Amino acid sequence: MSVMWAILSIRVENKPGILFKVTHLFRARNFNIDSISVGVMEDPEFSKMTITTVGTEKQIAQIVKQLDKMIDTIEVKRLDEKESVYKELVLFRIKSNEESTSTEISKLADTYGAKIHNGPEGSLIAELTSTPDKIKAFEELIKPFGILDSARTGVTAL
Amino acid sequence: MNDKMEIMNGGKALMKALEREGVKEVFGLPGGANLPMYDELYKSNIRHILVRHEQSAAHMADGFGRVSRKPGVCFATSGPGATNLLTGIATAQADSAPMVAVTGQVPVNMIGRDAFQESDIIGMSNPSVKYAFQPRAVEEIPEVVKKGFYIAETGRPGPVLLDIPKDVQQNEAKVTFPDEVRMPGYHPWTDIDMVNIERAVDLLLSSEKPIILAGGGTIISSAFAELQSIAEMLMIPVVTTFKGKGAFPENHPLSLGPIGMHGHAEANKIMTEVDCVLAIGTRFSDRSVGTFEEFERNLKIIHMDVDPAEIGKNQTAQVAVVGDVKASLRVMLKLLAKKVLKKSDGNNWLKHVNEVKDYWRENLKLHPGEMSAAKILRKLREVLPKESIVTTEVGQHQMWASLFFDAIHPGTFFSSTGLGTMGWGFPAAIGAKVARPDVAVVDIAGDGSFNMTENSLATSVLEDIPVIVFLINNYSLGMVAQWQRTFYDRRMIGIDLKKCPDYVKLAESYGAQGIRAQSLDELGKAVKAGLNSDVATVIDIPIDPEEDVLPFVAPGTSLKDMILPS
């Protein structure tokens, strides 16, 4: 059975301990979390968790059912990649000691719609909000300059 | 609502909320962090049944819950009291038993400071509870109790934990007791799935070699009559899972008994031949079906279950009917009644099934001794009234009970089938007896398991809850010994319990009745003495330590690979 990537959008009650329970469920049932992002919704009674995961069709169906069974989850949706917007914010700190590298990085950033900030000790910080594939492609291009550090939020989607 | 508002402390709010749920007994053991609630228990009308170890309190509540189908309640203090409950909570979760466990916790301002007898029981119990609450204010107590009972007993039942900090038990506040609670993420009941019930009926009627597989869910939803009517209308043979034992009378002509690792030979044989199974309230445990892939290979599965997450978890169903199985079966019965014009009692499939059944009932080789497992358990069945409740421990005796003790009255057989908790049967029997004081309760035990919770004899004797311990004694951890004989070339380690203790003297030292039975005649008399006794009776029944449980479907193999006695 082939393994696929899935985006799960989970509306939960905004109470302490729920993130723990959701992640515990993934661990206990031997499922994978590829990325996770959480934030309060417009109604502060609820939070929205976006989890990306990989598994077979059967495993993903089972993840959805087990999440749905949780009393703290209000709604569990598997988002269709084609019909939803899914984005992730990533920050890369890139080595840039010379003027020429800085220009080159800025050019690459422009093509991907990334913003460039000045970082410490002659480094640049590229800020990119995009899909995981495009982030991956951008990462490959800037790798030769030297990535000193990075941080990403995990996918969020609607 | 305002007229119901009263000022009281958290402990009293807890007792009042429990009383409103109809709780009359709690099983427990007090300690530092639950003293305030015990002080209010003292003042309430609820009976406290003192245990000697918190694990037994949980098992008693579990036994009570399975028999009464209302949550059994157990109390423990914080820290080790709470962690001792955990095995019992996990046992209830694995077997979908309704339970409300109430633990004391260190005061709110001490939580997270590694206080004396502090444990993060909410975190520890998370995967083993249906839900857990930790009220941080007195006002929350009535609501969490109401929610806790609702969650524990509805849908697929399970254990709920209420972890109450000591100051929340002590503080006073104005509280109101809600009649209803709202939980937007909890939907225990679904509508009748007419479309799939119709599809299930068509599939069942179009199959040539159908069977009904009744699981524990059949017992939980009391779908006994519906199951029997459908089986009799279609003249379909019925097998059960081990947990489903007691869902269908095992002396019924259509009954083949449990399938699985130690299922009946005829049940396992027939199960490998069927083309369609109506599976009711089962999760297709590996112990029931063997390897998942092999089980579903040539089989169309109709899967009925109250828990949608069970559909497709272990087996792929052609038709899935989610919902309370009793309600679904009722609808199915009506549809069948319209479609089935006459009983087809002369069909070739049933004829074949009966031939296989007759063959194995006559030809299964049994241990030759007078006190063989088969003989002693059949003797117990002969002497014991049919409405008596039986629990078991975990091990060889349990599987012998599955093989040789027929459960006849619906819902009279209970065992720790999922977690397989040694020591469950005796305290669970005490809990069952509290729920049903009008019937005899027998724990079919092994010596290794009984060792684990034998101190519940004190509870049984002092709280006047007499049960019978039918102790099949092979002086060893028999099932482990069997596996070492079978799979490890007789390298026997860690299984010899010697003749220690003397169970007759042990029973007597607790003020219980101890009887050693060394012949079937003595055994019959001992059971009768137990039935007539006002105190617990331990019947010590020495058997051949080398007797194996057979047939045996080895782990990781399929039902067709069943090992038979040679």
For residue B438, give the amino acid letter.
D
**First CA to last CA distance, chain B:** 71
Q: Three-state DSSP class for B211?
A: strand
- Flag whether residue B251 sits within 8 Å of chain A, measured between CB atoms: no
* Contact (Cβ atoms closer than 8 angstroms) between residue B74 and residue B490: no
Q: Is the pLDDT of residue A136 over 50?
A: yes
**CB-based contact A17 B122, cutoff 8 Å:** yes
**Among A18, A47, A65, which would you mutate to test the B interface (most chain B Cβ atoms within 10 Å of its Cβ)?**
A65
Taking phi over 0 as left and psi of -120 to 50 as alpha, with beta for the rest, B246 belongs to left
- What's the Cα-to-Cα distance from B335 to each of B199, B206, B326, B351, B399, rounded to whole Å? 11, 14, 14, 26, 37
Residue of B nearest to A26 (CA): B127
In DSSP terms, B392 is beta-bridged to B444
Whole-angstrom distance between the N-terminal and C-terminal Cα of chain A?
28
What are the extents of the domains in chain A?
3-82, 86-157
Q: Is A65 in CB contact (< 8 Å) with chain B?
A: yes
With an 8 Å Cβ cutoff, are B313 and A62 in contact?
Answer: yes
Residue B308, chain A, CB below 8 Å: the answer is yes
Contacting residues for B338 by C-beta, under 8 A, at least 6 apart: none
Quote the CATH superfamily of domain A86-157.
ACT-like. Chain A, domain 2 (3.30.70.1150)
Backbone angles phi, psi at B471, to 5 degrees: -90, 100
DSSP B298-319: T-EEEEEES-GGGTTTSS--SE
Which CATH class for the B365-550 domain? alpha beta
Strand order in the sheet with B389-392: B413-414, B389-392, B441-446, B468-473, B537-542, B513-516
Q: What is the ipTM of this complex?
A: 0.90
- CA-based nearest residue to B503, from B453, B454, B444: B454
Q: Chain A within 8 Å of B109 (Cβ-Cβ)?
A: no
* Closest approach of B363 to chain A, Cα-based (Å): 43
The string over A108-126, giving b where at least 16 C-beta atoms fall within 10 Å of a residue's C-beta and e elsewhere, is bbeebebebeebeeebbbb
Contact B159, B97 (CB under 8 A): yes
Q: Where are the domains of chain B?
A: 2-175, 194-362, 365-550
Please give the helix or strand (H or E) that residue B248 lies within, else none. none
Q: What is the mean pLDDT of chain A?
A: 94
CA quadruple B550, B555, B559, B562: dihedral sign: negative
- Give chain B positions within 8 Å (CB) of A74: 184-185
Provide the shortest C-alpha distance from residue B158 to chain A (in Å): 13
Name the minimum distance, in Å, from the CA of A99 to any CA of chain B. 52
Phi, psi of A129 (to 5 degrees): -110, 115
Residue in chain A nearest B152 by alpha carbon: A71
pLDDT at B297: 83
Which of B122, B186, B309 has its CB closest to that of A71?
B186
Kindly state whether B186 is in contact with chain A, defined as any CB-CB distance less than 8 angstroms: yes
B-chain residues near A28 (CB < 8 A): 127
Give the CA count within 13 Å in the CB-facing half-sphere of A150: 18
Residues of A in contact with B312 (CB under 8 A): 58, 61-62, 65
A70 to chain B, any CB pair closer than 8 A? The answer is yes
DSSP B438: T
Pairwise CB contact (< 8 Å): B151 & A61: no
In this structure, which amino acid lies at residue A95? K
Determine the CATH number of domain B194-362: 3.40.50.1220
Q: Do A70 and B185 touch (CB under 8 A)?
A: yes
- CB–CB of A74 and B184 under 8 A? yes
Which of B413, B370, B410 has the alpha carbon at shortest distance from B542? B370
Distances (CA, A) of B243 to A81, A133, B229: 42, 49, 21
- Residue A88 near residue A133, CB atoms below 8 Å: no
Same fold, B2-175 and B194-362: yes
**Nearest CA-CA partner of B536 in B462, B436, B437:** B462
E strand residue ranges, B365-412 = 389-392
Q: For position B346, what pLDDT does the model report?
A: 61
Residue A56 φ/ψ, nearest 5 degrees: -75, 165
As a whole number of angstroms, the longest Cα–Cα distance in chain B is 74
**In angstroms, what CA-CA distances link B120 with B82, B90, B114, B520?**
9, 16, 9, 51
What residues of B act catalytically? 54, 116-117, 166, 479
Q: What is the sign, positive or negative, of the torsion defined by CA atoms of B375, B377, B381, B385?
A: positive
- Residue B375's φ and ψ, nearest 5 degrees, are -70, -45
Give the residue among B165, B84, B94 at the shortest CA–CA distance from B127.
Answer: B94
Question: Residue B78 burial by CB count (10 A; 0-12/13-18/19+): exposed, middle or buried?
Answer: buried
- How many CB pairs lie under 8 A apart between chains A and B? 38
CA distance A108 to B177: 64
B154 near A CB under 8 A = no
Flag whether residue A23 sits within 8 Å of chain B, measured between CB atoms.
no
* pTM to 2 decimal places: 0.95
Q: Which CATH architecture has domain A3-82?
A: 2-Layer Sandwich (3.30)
Chain B: closest CA distance from residue A74 (Å): 4
Residue that has been written with the tokens 């050019």 in this structure: A107
What are the C-alpha distances in Å from B212 to residues A34, B103, B173? 41, 41, 55
Fold classification of B2-175 is: Rossmann fold (3.40.50)
Cβ of residue A77 closer than 8 Å to a chain B Cβ: no
Give residue B3's pLDDT: 53
A13 lies within 8 A of chain B by CB? yes
Two tokens, residue B42: 């003292």
Q: Kindly identify which residue of chain A lies nearest to residue B188, measuring between CA atoms.
A: A69
Contacts of A62 in chain B (CB under 8 A): 309, 312-313
Asked if A69 lies within 8 A of B126 by C-beta distance, the reply is: no
**Burial of B430 (C-beta count, 10 Å sphere; 0-12/13-18/19+):** buried
Q: Quick check: B185 and A74 CB within 8 A?
A: yes
Do the chains contact at B186 and A24, CB–CB below 8 Å?
Answer: no
Which three-class secondary structure state does DSSP give residue A13?
strand
Contact flag A62-B186 (C-beta cutoff 8 Å)? no
Residue of A41, A71, A75, A77 to mutate for B, most B C-beta atoms under 10 A:
A71
**Sequential DSSP letters for B124-181:** HHGGG-SEEE---SGGGHHHHHHHHHHHHHSSS--EEEEEEEHHHHH-EEEE---S--
Give the per-residue pLDDT at B176.
96
Cα A136 to Cα B326: distance, rounded to the nearest angstrom = 53
Task: Please compute, for residue B125, the number of CA atoms within 13 A of its CA located in the half-sphere on the CB side.
Answer: 33
**Phi, psi angles (nearest 5°) of residue B30:** -80, 160
* Enclosing H/E stretch for A134: helix A132-142
Question: How far is CA B474 from each of CA B309, B478, B482, rounded to the nearest angstrom?
Answer: 41, 7, 12
CB-CB under 8 Å, B184 with A65: no
Structure tokens at B307: 């828990």
Chain B: give the shortest CA distance to residue A73, in Å: 5
Which residue ranges of chain B lie beneath pLDDT 70?
1-4, 341-346
In the numeric block, which tokens belong to residue A56? 């077979």
